[in-house]
Amino acid sequence: MSLAHVILGLLQQQERTGYDLKTKCFDDCISHLWQADQAQIYRTLDKLESQGWITCNVEIQHDRPNRKVYRITEAGEAELTHWLQTHHPLPVLREPLLVQLYFAAQLPNEAIVYLLEQELEARQEKLAQCETIEALSLSNPTASREQKLHRLVLDLVKQREQTYLDWLEKAIATIRSQST
Amino acid sequence: MSLAHVILGLLQQQERTGYDLKTKCFDDCISHLWQADQAQIYRTLDKLESQGWITCNVEIQHDRPNRKVYRITEAGEAELTHWLQTHHPLPVLREPLLVQLYFAAQLPNEAIVYLLEQELEARQEKLAQCETIEALSLSNPTASREQKLHRLVLDLVKQREQTYLDWLEKAIATIRSQST
DNA sequence: TGCTAGTATATGATTAATCATATATAGGAT
DNA sequence: ATCCTATATATGATTAATCATATACTAGCA
């Protein structure tokens, strides 16, 4: 499971709680990279701990639930380093919109255009989210090796969205220009 | 579940068996669009039948298992037409390679380049698969409305792969040009 | 003779991800 | 006084997808 390795990567940066991982990491910093559900994060932390790849230190709190602070172990670092250098199969992508277009021959042009316009809007919003994350990243003035890699990743994600936007505009124009 | 609607779309074209769907449709014609496991196809056919969206006609065979030929019902067509016009949320994409690059700062440049080169190879292969499907599609000389939509879909899938390839080449050059 | 590929459907098991909900308290807003 | 947000973890249920394996017969190849 890759989520386990994303978490190992985040814990290698610094020790964190499940709550930190969800709010500060997955939601605020790497939502363009990997989305994760809170329940799955906690359950994956349990698995990583029982594997011996992370350890947990409980900070007692009285006004709210205790914080379980997780830290990567040497075995965890070794596992991460190994995983980082292993090629993984391309993820399978299943896009409802493409299925809709594929089977849309019976629909009137206006219905198809409407569908494409809604997708365009959703994709524009997603690109905007990427740009928010980019702004956050660029606000950090250091040009470390890590920063450069983060920007490379953002470049792809943004370019991917731009490819969709360009294609959607072309597709809308194509459908509109048709008689039927 | 979108798979159910992909199957409805395929059964609207013509009646088919589960085996036909798997081999002639999913594997040969729309693998760029939607990959589906045999087991999941059969179980989805059962669900669609109990929903009343398809019906089944059993053709008795003696030399091999009976063929269960499925056909879309009127209720199924209504459901498909409705689904085709409904906007669906963007699918979540999780790419191990991007995670690897994001956390790769500690790796030597050669290791990163090796990773990117393996991804490049995999993406080239995927583009080649798209082109095989495209050749199959272009071999059909009719320029029907359906054909045009199929080609629009293929355009995006190919363009998407090309975006990856361009980015990968740029990323490899960037990493190689660095001192560390 | 044994092996593989093709035709055809079915089921058990597991994984990854999501959704809903529960618990507990503090502090600020309406 | 009530509601919402933030902090913090946990668990039950369900879905979508994948993997493995079972059954059963034919035909062709080595």
Q: What residue of B is the nearest CA neighbor of A81?
A: B107
State the pLDDT at residue B111: 97
Helices and strands per DSSP (H, E), number in chain B: 7, 2
Which of 1.10.357.10, 3.40.640.10, 1.10.10.10, 3.40.50.1980 would CATH assign to domain B2-84?
1.10.10.10
Candidates A12, A30, A106; CA nearest to B98 is A30
Q: Is the CB of A57 under 7 A from strand D?
A: no
State the pLDDT at residue A180: 62
User: Looking at beta carbons, which residues of chain B come within 8 Å of A95?
Assistant: 33, 91
Q: So what's the ipTM on this one? A: 0.94
What are the structure tokens assigned to B179, written together? 């001192």
State the pLDDT at residue A8: 98
Angle at B172 between CA B166 and CA B173, to 5 degrees: 90
Backbone angles phi, psi at A90, to 5 degrees: -60, 135
Candidates A23, A26, A176, A50; CA nearest to A111 is A176
Is residue B87 within 8 A of residue A115, CB to CB? The reply is yes
Question: Burial level of A92, CB count in 10 A (0-12/13-18/19+)?
Answer: exposed
Q: Is the CB of A26 under 7 A from strand D?
A: no
Is residue B105 within 8 A of residue A149, CB to CB? The reply is yes
Question: Could you tell me where the beta strands, DSSP code E, fall in chain B?
Answer: 54-59, 67-72
Output the average pLDDT for chain B. Answer: 95
Chain-centroid distance, C-alpha A125: 15
Q: Is the CB of B141 under 7 A from strand C?
A: no
Q: Using CA atoms, how far apart are residues B7 and B80, in angstroms rounded to an integer?
A: 10
The percent of residues above 90 in pLDDT, for chain A, comes to 88
The answer to which of A76-90, B16-30, B55-69 has the lowest mean pLDDT is B55-69
Q: What residue of B is the nearest CA neighbor of A84?
A: B100
State the pLDDT at residue B138: 82
Taking residues A136-146, what's their average pLDDT?
Answer: 83
Q: What residue of A is the nearest CA neighbor of B89?
A: A122
Q: Is the CB of B68 under 7 A from strand C?
A: yes
State the pLDDT at residue B180: 62
- Provide CB contacts within 8 A for B21, sequence distance 6+: B7, B10, B36, B41, B45
Q: Using CA atoms, how far apart are residues B180 and B164, in angstroms rounded to an integer?
A: 25
Is residue A21 within 8 A of residue A8, CB to CB? The reply is no
Maximum Cα–Cα distance for chain A, whole Å? 70
State the pLDDT at residue A137: 84
Long-range Cβ pairs for the range A22-27 (8 Å, 24+): none
- Enumerate the β-bridge partners of residue A176: none
User: Looking at beta carbons, which residues of chain A come within 8 Å of B155?
Assistant: 167
Taking residues B122-150, what's their average pLDDT?
Answer: 90
Cβ atoms within 10 Å of B12's Cβ, excluding its own: 17
What are the structure tokens assigned to B102, written together? 């994001």
Q: What is the residue extent of each domain of chain B?
A: 2-84, 96-176
Taking residues A119-148, what's their average pLDDT?
Answer: 91
Taking the CA atoms of residue A168, residue A171, residue A176 and residue A179 in that order, the dihedral angle to the nearest 10 degrees is -160
Q: Using CA atoms, how far apart are residues B95 and B105, in angstroms rounded to an integer?
A: 18
- Cross-chain Cβ contact B84/A98 below 8 Å: no
Question: Burial level of A90, CB count in 10 A (0-12/13-18/19+)?
Answer: middle
User: Looking at beta carbons, which residues of chain A come within 8 Å of B119?
Assistant: 87, 90
The percent of residues above 70 in pLDDT, for chain A, comes to 99
Strands A67-72 and B54-59: unpaired
Cβ atoms within 10 Å of B92's Cβ, excluding its own: 9
